[in-house]
Amino acid sequence: MEDYARQIEDIGRRARAAARQLALCSKERKDSALMAMADAMEAAEAKILAANARDVAAAPGFGLNAAAVDRLRLTSDRIRAVADGVREVAGLPDPAGGVIREWTRPNGIKILKVRVPIGVVGIIFESRPNVTADAAALCLKSGNACILRGGKESFHSNTAIAAALATGAVNAGLSADVIQLVPFTDREGVRLMARMDRYIDVIVPRGGRALIEAVVEHARMPVIKHYHGVCHVFVDSSADLSMAEKIVINAKCQRPGVCNAMETLLVHRDIAEKFLPTIAASLSARGVELRGDERTREVLGSGVKAAVEEDWTEEYLDLILSIRVVDSLEEAVDHIEKYGSHHTDAIVASDEAAARKFLSAVDSATVLWNASTRFSDGGEFGFGAEIGISTDKLHARGPMGLEELTTYKYIVEGAGQVRG
């Protein structure tokens, strides 16, 4: 165990040294490193496919179902697509180095608030092996060294991809340590990483509740959680009901398995009798299971399943929708505050005053007026690339792009000024 801790500590120390080098690299050097990393991934195709075959063979032992195995499986085409993704990141603007604000004080000192890399970013994930390349590319682009810790199901694939990326970095004259994968996939590895605030500046956990909880419990450094989305659409009494129908269907059905899909529909009582039968028919036709509160079932009939307390906090990630009739916009806001996850919530309304009230009062990363919750997304926001959607409030809130992988420092330029 001590040896284990020493190994992770060593990864940390090397990442810190690599980060210092990387922070001083020009955009050109970082971009050429990204191109070299993409090339190296393609050059290592045979090795990556062989490693992936081991993961796929072991998958049933981890209890992965057919869909999960499919997400795990790599092919030549998928490797090329991932490499192309890395090349696309090279084409994006450099988030580091820009001046956020500059001003001069009466005593003549000039102050510049300048965007700089964070340093060492720890990313803990459970999902598909392409995250290894995506996350490493975004960290490198923003001038950060990264320490990745992937899931056990994709361990061999992740290892092969990380090795290829490090080779690419070295080919471009950077340290191999700019991208390192922790060679452990158990919880103890997570705990050790989380304690290492000396070397890791921030940890971004992406995964299920148990994983995120393990990070939060032990972390000594800032954590930017990518947690669940219990997203709401509130259809106000002033809503254009055909617009509401379009938005509700899109928010629920277009891609139910993602965090910005709607999980609960709140309907103003004044339009409930008119709106509910239409939307229920439309949702049912798309295979959505409805779970309604008392008043919803009064309108739709007891054929609709009764929602229980747990339904209001559940992220179904599936074709299931809980529905509640509320007396007022205030009640909708209170429901969202009580049961929501502060991720993404929308109002459909024609009354601007009502909409403004909702947009102010709902304390979520993204609040929308007359648009689908599915727009709460880095790509849709035009960020070019996305680490994920932060459910935390500080540093990065909501869709997290390259800029959120930077911080700032103050540069003060004087001519010998001292304080009086």
Question: Does 121 contact its own copies by CB under 8 A?
Answer: no
In the stretch 124-163, what mask flags binding to its own copies with x, by CB under 8 A?
Answer: ----------------------------------------
Q: Please, which residues have CB within 8 angstroms of residue 388's CB and are 6 or more apart in sequence?
A: 204, 206, 226, 378, 400
Question: Does 58 contact its own copies by CB under 8 A?
Answer: no
Nearest to 187 by CA among 223, 211, 171: 211
In angstroms, rounded to a whole number, what is the distance separating the alpha carbons of residues 68 and 60? 10
Question: Does 210 contact its own copies by CB under 8 A?
Answer: no
**Which lies closer to its own copies via its Cβ, residue 61 or residue 416?**
416
Query: CA 194, 199, 202, 205: dihedral to nearest 10 degrees?
Result: -40
In angstroms, rounded to a whole number, what is the distance separating the alpha carbons of residues 151 and 286? 34
Candidates 237, 284, 313, 370; binder of its own copies (CB under 8 A) is 370
**Which lies closer to its own copies via its Cβ, residue 306 or residue 412?**
412
**Which lies closer to its own copies via its Cβ, residue 165 or residue 261?**
261
**Which lies closer to its own copies via its Cβ, residue 164 or residue 247?**
247
In the stretch 230-269, what mask flags binding to its own copies with x, by CB under 8 A?
Answer: ----------x--x--xx-xxx--xx--------------
Candidates 85, 98, 183, 222; binder of its own copies (CB under 8 A) is 222
Q: Are residues 55 and 72 in contact, defined by beta-carbon separation less than 8 angstroms?
A: yes
Candidates 63, 210, 309, 410; binder of its own copies (CB under 8 A) is 410
Candidates 59, 399, 400, 402; binder of its own copies (CB under 8 A) is 399
In angstroms, rounded to a whole number, what is the distance separating the alpha carbons of residues 383 and 206? 19
**Which lies closer to its own copies via its Cβ, residue 163 or residue 365?**
365
Cα dist. 146→291, 318, 361 in Å? 43, 33, 37
What angle do helix axes 130-141 and 27-43 make, rounded to 10 degrees? 160
Q: Which stretch binds its own copies (CB under 8 A): 71-79, 109-117, 149-157, 268-276?
A: 109-117
Q: Please, which residues have CB within 8 angstroms of residue 61's CB and are 6 or more apart in sequence?
A: none
Candidates 12, 384, 398, 401; binder of its own copies (CB under 8 A) is 398
Candidates 10, 70, 84, 413; binder of its own copies (CB under 8 A) is 413
Question: Does 366 contact its own copies by CB under 8 A?
Answer: yes
In angstroms, rounded to a whole number, what is the distance separating the alpha carbons of residues 367 and 376? 8
Candidates 201, 236, 311, 386; binder of its own copies (CB under 8 A) is 201
Question: Does 381 contact its own copies by CB under 8 A?
Answer: yes
Type and span of the H or E element at 248: helix 241-253
Question: Does 95 contact its own copies by CB under 8 A?
Answer: no
How do 120-125 and 110-117 pair as beta strands? Answer: unpaired
Candidates 238, 264, 376, 391; binder of its own copies (CB under 8 A) is 376
Question: Does 393 contact its own copies by CB under 8 A?
Answer: yes
To the nearest whole angstrom, how small is the minimum distance from the Cβ of residue 103 to its own copies?
A: 7
Nearest to 283 by CA among 269, 267, 298: 267
Question: Does 109 contact its own copies by CB under 8 A?
Answer: yes
What angle do helix axes 209-218 and 187-195 make, rounded to 10 degrees? 40
Candidates 23, 53, 58, 68; binder of its own copies (CB under 8 A) is 23
Nearest to 131 by CA among 405, 385, 398, 348: 385
Candidates 136, 166, 323, 368; binder of its own copies (CB under 8 A) is 368
Beta-strand runs (E) in 63-137:
99-104, 110-117, 120-125
In angstroms, rounded to a whole number, what is the distance separating the alpha carbons of residues 377 and 399? 5
Q: Are residues 69 and 62 in contact, defined by beta-carbon separation less than 8 angstroms?
A: no
Binding residues for its own copies (CB under 8 A): 20, 23-24, 103, 105, 109, 111, 116, 118-119, 197, 201-202, 216-217, 220, 222-223, 240, 243, 246-247, 249-251, 254-255, 337, 359-361, 363-372, 374-376, 380-382, 392-395, 397-399, 407-419
